[in-house]
A = this chain, B = another copy of it.
């Protein structure tokens, strides 16, 4: 994966989106003239797939990069995408507290939210393995973070995501077929299939959604007949009101396509796909070309990260309930901003 390009709004850089008490802390320390060198450690409360490290470093770079010398801030970090355990230190900062204190909220938020999504994506990918999984959850999250969601899902193992911005962060082409709206507007699936085929550049796969108006099996055959060898796959997205996409449905569509000589047409499945259902599909052995997974990934709860000051001027400290001093973690690597 090439180095992604993250951008930060002025809200984030100014501390306006931070917990206000960090701004107040900044003011108190300034007036008291206190600013020792401290070591702060950031670690999660639950196990998962670490994500957000690159963006966290990018934030420090954007906030401090031009104003400080390298010797002023020592940064140690684990690798993006690495498995991480509870209380394992993902990021360790050593420098004067006032340099980075107001970014605690932002750093924690980046790591918590991204790690939550990457971890759930990994669970989906493992359940579907070796069938590829695509992140289709952009519609459930605020558009400010939709690209972040897709990036995290890809870090967690997804083949790609549905947003251009998100896929670009991860250096992948975005994934998408056609929505029900297009079929409703043109009024017939075969008409849409042909128009789509005419309009799209060759690198866009010809995948046609087949559950809008008619029975899926029937429509699959109509579309396959119309596009012939140009049809790459059909997408089943049957709504819950019609029973959703089941193993039996995939098996039947497969059989009917094969019987009609359309063995080359693959089947793509989306709609209400959960980890449990991914396992059922895989265990059933029905041939599936890919899964579009939305809510299962996008509704993953953040994995709560905590930041602890563990040393002041080289002396181990901690609040009650924590062990004073640095926590050993051989997976940490020093990185330069």
Seen from chain A, the residues whose Cβ lies within 8 Å of a Cβ on chain B are: 7-9, 11-12, 15-25, 27-29, 31-32, 34, 36, 38, 40, 97, 101, 104-106, 108-110, 112-114, 116, 136, 138-148, 162-167, 174-186, 192, 195-196, 198-200, 204, 211-215, 217-218, 238-244, 246, 248-249, 251-252, 255-256, 259, 295, 298-299, 301-302, 304-305, 307-309, 312, 316-325
Contacts and interface: CB of A to CB of B under 8 A. Distances in A.
Nearest to A183: B319
B239 A320 contact: yes
B298 A302 contact: yes
A109 B184 contact: no
Nearest to A22: B179
A101 B181 contact: yes
A333 to B, nearest CB: 24
Contacts of A322: 239, 241, 252
Contacts of A215: 213-215, 218, 320
Contacts of A325: 255, 259
A175 B24 CA distance: 11
Contact of A105 (B146, B242, B304): B146
B241 A144 contact: no
B145 A144 contact: yes
A49 to B, nearest CB: 16
B162 A21 contact: yes
B142 A23 contact: no
A164 B298 contact: no
A185 B312 contact: yes
Contacts of A251: 323
